[in-house]
Structure 1
Amino acid sequence: MAIFRFEALKSAANRKPVAVEEIGRKSELFGANVFNDKAMRQHLTSEAYKAVRAAIEHGVKIDRKMAEYVALGMKEWAMSKGATHYTHWFQPLTGTTAEKHDAFFETSMDGSDPVEKFSGSTLVQQESDASSFPNGGIRNTFEARGYTAWDPTSPAFVYGTTLCIPTVFVSYTGEALDNKAPLLRALSTIDVAATEVAKYFDKNIKKVTPTLGWEQEYFLIDIDLAASRPDILQTGRTLLGHTSAKGQQLEDHYFGSIPTRVLNYMRDLENECILLGIPAKTRHNEVAPNQFELAPIFEETNLAVDHNSLLMDVMQKVAERHNFKVLFHEKPFKGVNGSGKHNNWSLATDTGVNLLSPGKTPMSNLQFLTFFVNTIKAVADYEELLRASIASASNDYRLGANEAPPAIISVFIGEQLIKVLEELEGVSTGKLSPEEKTDLKLNVVGKIPDVMLDNTDRNRTSPFAFTGNKFEFRAVGSTANCANSMTTLNAIVAKQLMDFKQEVDALIAKENLKKDEAIFNVLREYIKQVKHILFEGDGYSKEWEIEAEKRGLSNHKNTPDALKAKVSQKSLDLFEAVNVMSNKEVEARYEIELEEYVKKVQIESRVLGDIIRNHIIPTAFRYQNVLIENIKGLKEIFGKDYEQYADEQIKILKKISEHINQLNAKMHAMMDARKEANALTNIEQKAHDYCNKVKPFFDDIRYHADKLELMVDNELWTLTKYRELLFTR
């Protein structure tokens, strides 16, 4: 295996950049492989086109007869793009995407009359074997039936030779078995709730659309170097490895010149993105060595989530062409920054207004304040649930480290907006005097900038920060499906806007207040209630942990603790009230996520044990024998005085033996703890045991293994080292 390490290094060092063919002007080719509006106009009848548009814009159901016309046009378009198969492309609760390919090709019973066929019923719905997908107890093991149903709001696309049709995935009894169905429900609910509130300011508003701009961070490692590390192949991260002398401390990688091999990979990836309608906009070096970022233009949330899920798959496939391995894990390397996926969220109206953008008039600024304060109120009321939405075994390694926000959910809005809220809070209750109305509209609201510029500095330690015209949910992990966090965020804001409208309408009806006065009164009370969630300082500091505890904010540092908020009565009531998930669906997800946590820590512990037994300890023994032979030789030469000449060798030999003994003892203790955890039948207790009794051994084992890496002859060490993984270009 030691030879394999050096062969991998030689192979990586001799790599040449893979040539990338330019595809032409991106603006002209954007969405060329997407069944978008342009393609539908060309390939559908006018009636079929109108039916699909009605489904997209108003949620009108497409009847089966019209679906036949849509399927016919979609098939002809897809075949013109080289498609030979089709698939219902969905997002089960595994965190990845799923697809089963069927050929358009069919024959009659006797094998004659071959034809390319794709029916409306096949487009709209398919029965899928759900037996091997996570279900959290929604159905019995022997009940395999599940259904995929077409989501017309996310356009079909051709990738390779396959027509991919975005779908939801539900059980035989109708419960959601995927990430998309709850997200669509949340988006529908917030559309209604936000539109009702927005009509206070503009009666012409008929629809509000949540938007999302994600930022995908990732590492690129040469494919052979990755293959030389069993831990990277099986867990997506390095379980062992001493930090490199040079890491990111010189800050010379961030925004630096992109290496040629990587740049060619990025160009190739962007070409694929353009054809698939993914609006890739930004690329750059991130902070850690061999870490990079891709960010798109903002899109409607459902489409943005689909595009991110598709992108992560495409990234791996393109990487293979360039002899790279993409690492999405939140913390693949110790001692350097990990990776996140910041979710930038806002609300846009069908009249072209960003509801979270400060305006140029008193009325538009009042509108901004309404949605701004209500969002903060939603986060304040459901901070534990928001924390649960980004909980995972891999994100636990990142949260609270020096590149990511802490596990404590707080909101950063900047000094200027803090002052605005303080002044608004100071206005007297009840009916406003003419002077107060003028003061509010001209002096308080008017202090918000009247252009769409960031009116706050950035606080990288804040998990939820306002950045000028949007909120940035920074705590989302790089491996995550954005649907989880976006379902939760849109659900809690929808519920808050519904409550807000009830309170405002009640004040107008009961207190005979004018609309603006009622809004101001409710907002002022909210400002008093959200102070505990607002924090402008250093989220990494110990002082903030102490202060947050005093404020009553949660600090769930691990996934088993964080996930408990999902099944609290408060959360169950919320999801039912906004028609996003039933109690059964929420509880199923809780069980699935706990099971996933257990399995991931279990896999890591087993891989760690395998590496210790089959790599680290045998290599250390081999080097011990080298030292022993050296000491024997010195004894033969110097006789009884040999010890004064072999003193250092003996010390090293003893030190290596100590580390081997500790390594072996810790490894067996970890195995015993794992066996005890595996014997448990309660998934909550099992998750907590893996978290608190198995996982703590990881750091202890790593300490001794990494010490041995520093002591053992480099020529004998079998695992590719950090300096090689992170700095081989």
Structure 2
Amino acid sequence: MSKTYKRFDALEAVTKADDKLTERNGTGKIDMNIAKIFGENCLSIDTLKERLPKSVWKVLKKTIRDNEPLEFDVADAVAVVMKEWATEKGATHYTHWFQPLTGATAEKHDSFITPNQGGGAITQFSGNDLMRGEPDASSFPSGGLRPTFEARGYTAWDPTSPAFIIDNGNGSTLCIPTVFASWKGESLDFKTPLLRSVEALNKQAIRALKLFGEEELTWVNATGGYEQEYFLIDQEYFYRRPDLLTSGRTLFGAKPPRGQELDDHYFGSIPERILSFMFEAEKELYKVGVPVKTRHNEVAPGQFEIAPVFEKANIAADHQQLTMITLKKVARKYGLVCLLHEKPFAGLNGSGKHANWSMVTSKGQNLLEPGDNPHDNRQFLFFFTATLKAVHDYQGLLRASIASAGNDHRLGANEAPPAIISAYVGEQLEDVVQQLKKGEVTGSKDGGLLGLGIPVLPTIPKHAGDRNRTSPFAFTGNKFEFRAVGSEQTVSFPTTILNTIVAGAIDELSTAVENKLSGGADLESALREVFKDTYTEIENILFHGDGYSDDWQKEAEKRGLLNLKSTLDALPQLTDEKNVKLFENYNVLSHRELESRLEIYLEQYFIKLNIEAETTEDIVRTMIVPATIRYLNEVIAVNDRGKTTGLDIASTKTLAEEVNGELANLLKAVDKLREVNEDLGGDTIPEKATHLSKVVLPEMNKVREIADKLEKLVPDDYWPLPSYREMLFVK
């Protein structure tokens, strides 16, 4: 038996994994004294307060907490403290850390070192260095906001998000969260519109809260808690899969005998190597101040989840990017690769990123906390209603915010929420909504108690509404959960959309209440009338049934809800006249900035599908076809020898004919794929994207279907790609 036999890959992978785990863990444990390490590499507010002069701290605090403008003399003082703190931690360089429209993060490192006249060097870092940088912006996507030859772009310090240090075995770097804009001031990033949307929400929420007698609030901020699902596979297999290397997902792979049917992976015991990886990843996240809380096995084999506690949305967005970076980086130390693609394995659950969203005041009050009696909580009902109105009025924008080539594989695929945006609020609040629609609320359903039928177990308080895993936008007790966000995408854009549409809805409801108050109505009757009118208008957005069912597709159409099934269907919503007006009204994104996003997202969609198509052809021609021919040659040789020995070789001939037939089908299909992929479908990006989606992708699927049949026919020692069975279960 040759050592190229693929079974040796699996054995070698396990052996190397065990050796690597022993090497990393040794005989001791990772120091997980959370109280000691949490935030040690994060320049916290407490550290700034302790090190800055009181007068400077007072001004900076207003900037951080109340969004007041920052002056350069204050920035100079902060820069001194930041440099001293960072160099004490071993940092030799700093970088403006930002979120360009690629969806990833970007950084350019500069040294603190400045040569002096005596031939030596000193460490130097000024307020100007802190406040603004000038990276080369020519290769970042701009969507037509500036010509490629105009390379200039500016990063500007975001003082609301704390600086942090990233350690490397050979040194440390100070990372300063920033925004990124063109020299004309147009946003070239995800962070700028997110901060603008936070301010829009803040302004409208404070206005609304004054209706309820809240006069002393200084700010209201959106809060976010973003659950991250991901897959882990052994890097031995990753490197042997060109499709994973270039596309992030498997473009081939026959269904294994065992997948997720047994439901034994979900919440199961975490394998030792995976748990060791989780410990170290969590430690690294704790060090930079990311408050990760939960870890567990997810539904599919090889799939896991990490989730933090709530933070202000702009900080949570930065921390979510750090989480993805850290998962990928630490996984390699354990001989693993972290896959964040929404659908890396066909036939198994894909990965999402559940965006838990709410609003909090400067007094620490959660505006979406119902209290014991939701029907009595007028303030809660106001913000709850505003959020549902926003979802109803701008369902197309919400769908566009999660549109991507990867997420198209997942949405509505009997695992993720459907592409139809609807809201689930639970039995208790649904009852309150029906009463509000009638114009009078007399009470709310008691949650009651849930008995487990076992005398020794305590009675557990029952929630008034069960969870609905098929709902894309569900109220889950004291927050809404936007369940349709893709696992690989930045959360900044969906959060920006959510903040903006809710700000618009709060504005509308506040104006309606104010008009009724000016007409002589009291607050109680004004709210009652506004709630009644609103729920009569938006009731169609509420759905509590099975979002996966065909009946819901038909029902949603009757209700007039949008069913934007693909990225190409959804993205044009960004530049719909109503949506452009909303964004410009609240100074979140200009018309030009929205058009740029549409162009960039379409181009990214086209490029990703084009890479997948070319990778598909490459794997077929250079790996699958040669392997199949080698096996076919062996079968034919047996057939020839059988004739000379007088053996009955009818079955061998049948096998050869079957393999040869599928090989012929595969070659024909891949030729067709090449033909349609070379024809780009037009000159414009929308034309190319449409061609890839409507013509090329179906041909890719045909090629895969035939190749997956061949995988079931060709022996393992000939088949060139690691199988699903190995990738999913070797841990």
Indicate conservation of the 8 Å contact 2:32/2:283, yes or no: no
Paired residue total: 708
Query: CA offsets per residue over residues 583-609 of structure 1, 9 Å max, x none?
Result: 000000000000000000000011111
Cα shift at 1:74: 0.3
Q: How high is the TM-score relative to the length of structure 1?
A: 0.94
Indicate conservation of the 8 Å contact 1:358/1:364, yes or no: no
Distance 1:651 1:724, change over 3 A: same
Q: Distance in 1 between matches of 2:538 and 2:656?
A: 61
Check if 1:174 corresponds to 2:185: yes
**Mean Cα deviation higher: 699-708 or 362-371:** 362-371
What residue is the counterpart of 1:725 in the other structure? 727
What residue is the counterpart of 1:433 in the other structure? none
Check if 1:186 corresponds to 2:197: yes
| Counterpart mapping for 1:700-711 below 5 A | 700-711=702-713
Query: CA offsets per residue over residues 77-107 of structure 1, 9 Å max, x none?
Result: 0011110100000000000000011111110
**Mean Cα deviation higher: 83-92 or 664-673:** 664-673
Q: Distance in 2 between matches of 1:449 and 1:530?
A: 29
1:487 maps to a residue whose letter is T
What residue is the counterpart of 1:431 in the other structure? none
Distance 1:5 1:202, change over 3 A: farther
Indicate conservation of the 8 Å contact 1:251/1:287, yes or no: yes
Q: How high is the TM-score relative to the length of structure 2?
A: 0.94
What residue is the counterpart of 1:422 in the other structure? 434
Indicate conservation of the 8 Å contact 2:375/2:432, yes or no: no
What residue is the counterpart of 2:154 in the other structure? 147
**Mean Cα deviation higher: 580-589 or 667-676:** 667-676
1:47 maps to a residue whose letter is S
> Which of 126, 135, 142 does residue 135 from structure 1 map onto?
142
> Which of 562, 572, 591 does residue 580 from structure 2 map onto?
572
Q: Distance in 1 between matches of 2:345 and 2:279?
A: 26
Q: Distance in 2 between matches of 1:32 and 1:314?
A: 16
> Which of 472, 476, 490 does residue 481 from structure 1 map onto?
490
| Counterpart mapping for 1:407-556 below 5 A | 407-427=419-439, 440=441, 443-444=442-443, 454-510=463-519, 512-556=520-564
Check if 1:247 corresponds to 2:250: no
2:114 maps to a residue whose letter is E
1:549 maps to a residue whose letter is E
Gaps of 5+ in 2: 450-459
Distance 1:632 1:263, change over 3 A: same
Q: Distance in 2 between matches of 1:173 and 1:449?
A: 59
| Counterpart mapping for 1:78-157 below 5 A | 78-108=86-116, 112-157=119-164
Give the secondary structure class of the aligned counterpart of 2:174: strand
| Counterpart mapping for 1:307-706 below 5 A | 307-360=319-372, 365-427=377-439, 440=441, 443-444=442-443, 454-510=463-519, 512-638=520-646, 645-677=648-680, 680-706=682-708
| Counterpart mapping for 1:13-52 below 5 A | 13-14=14-15, 15-16=17-18, 17=21, 18-19=24-25, 21-52=29-60
Q: Distance in 2 between matches of 1:576 and 1:449?
A: 46
Q: What is the RMSD of the two structures over their aligned residues, measured on CA atoms? A: 1.9
Cα shift at 1:669: 1.3
**Mean Cα deviation higher: 452-461 or 325-334:** 452-461
**Mean Cα deviation higher: 282-291 or 668-677:** 668-677
Q: Distance in 2 between matches of 1:347 and 1:363?
A: 19
Distance 1:651 1:191, change over 3 A: same
Indicate conservation of the 8 Å contact 1:425/1:525, yes or no: yes
Give the secondary structure class of the aligned counterpart of 2:717: coil
Query: CA offsets per residue over residues 247-275 of structure 1, 9 Å max, x none?
Result: 11000100000000000000001111111
Indicate conservation of the 8 Å contact 1:452/1:468, yes or no: no
Q: Distance in 1 between matches of 2:358 and 2:350?
A: 26
Cα shift at 1:359: 2.1
Q: Distance in 2 between matches of 1:235 and 1:111?
A: 53
**Mean Cα deviation higher: 197-206 or 322-331:** 197-206
What residue is the counterpart of 1:195 in the other structure? 206
Check if 1:297 corresponds to 2:297: no
Query: CA offsets per residue over residues 371-395 of structure 1, 9 Å max, x none?
Result: 1111111100110110000000001
Give the secondary structure class of the aligned counterpart of 1:557: coil
What residue is the counterpart of 1:432 in the other structure? none
Q: Distance in 2 between matches of 1:551 and 1:530?
A: 10
Query: CA offsets per residue over residues 610-632 of structure 1, 9 Å max, x none?
Result: 10001111111011101100000
Cα shift at 1:516: 1.6
Cα shift at 1:449: 9.4
Give the secondary structure class of the aligned counterpart of 2:670: helix
Indicate conservation of the 8 Å contact 1:455/1:467, yes or no: no
**Mean Cα deviation higher: 597-606 or 357-366:** 357-366
Give the secondary structure class of the aligned counterpart of 1:584: helix
Indicate conservation of the 8 Å contact 2:260/2:300, yes or no: yes
Give the secondary structure class of the aligned counterpart of 1:423: helix
Distance 1:557 1:111, change over 3 A: farther
2:274 maps to a residue whose letter is V
Q: Distance in 2 between matches of 1:662 and 1:187?
A: 55
2:513 maps to a residue whose letter is V
Q: Distance in 1 between matches of 2:429 and 2:397?
A: 25
Indicate conservation of the 8 Å contact 1:456/1:466, yes or no: no
What residue is the counterpart of 1:11 in the other structure? 12
Q: Distance in 2 between matches of 1:4 and 1:91?
A: 44
Indicate conservation of the 8 Å contact 1:223/1:323, yes or no: yes
| Counterpart mapping for 1:215-226 below 5 A | 215-226=227-238
Give the secondary structure class of the aligned counterpart of 1:711: coil
1:491 maps to a residue whose letter is T
Using the aligned pairs only, state the percent identity: 45
1:582 maps to a residue whose letter is S
Indicate conservation of the 8 Å contact 1:387/1:407, yes or no: yes
Query: CA offsets per residue over residues 204-238 of structure 1, 9 Å max, x none?
Result: 33321111111000001111111111111111111
Cα shift at 1:415: 2.3
Indicate conservation of the 8 Å contact 2:677/2:692, yes or no: yes
Query: CA offsets per residue over residues 543-591 of structure 1, 9 Å max, x none?
Result: 1111111111111111111101111111111100111000000000000
Q: Distance in 2 between matches of 1:243 and 1:608?
A: 18
Indicate conservation of the 8 Å contact 2:583/2:590, yes or no: yes
Indicate conservation of the 8 Å contact 1:185/1:580, yes or no: yes
Cα shift at 1:142: 0.7
Check if 1:283 corresponds to 2:295: yes
Cα shift at 1:413: 1.1
**Mean Cα deviation higher: 575-584 or 111-120:** 111-120
Cα shift at 1:670: 1.5
Q: Distance in 2 between matches of 1:182 and 1:699?
A: 37
Q: Distance in 2 between matches of 1:31 and 1:21?
A: 20
Q: Distance in 2 between matches of 1:362 and 1:261?
A: 46
What residue is the counterpart of 2:453 in the other structure? none
Q: Distance in 1 between matches of 2:9 and 2:175?
A: 36
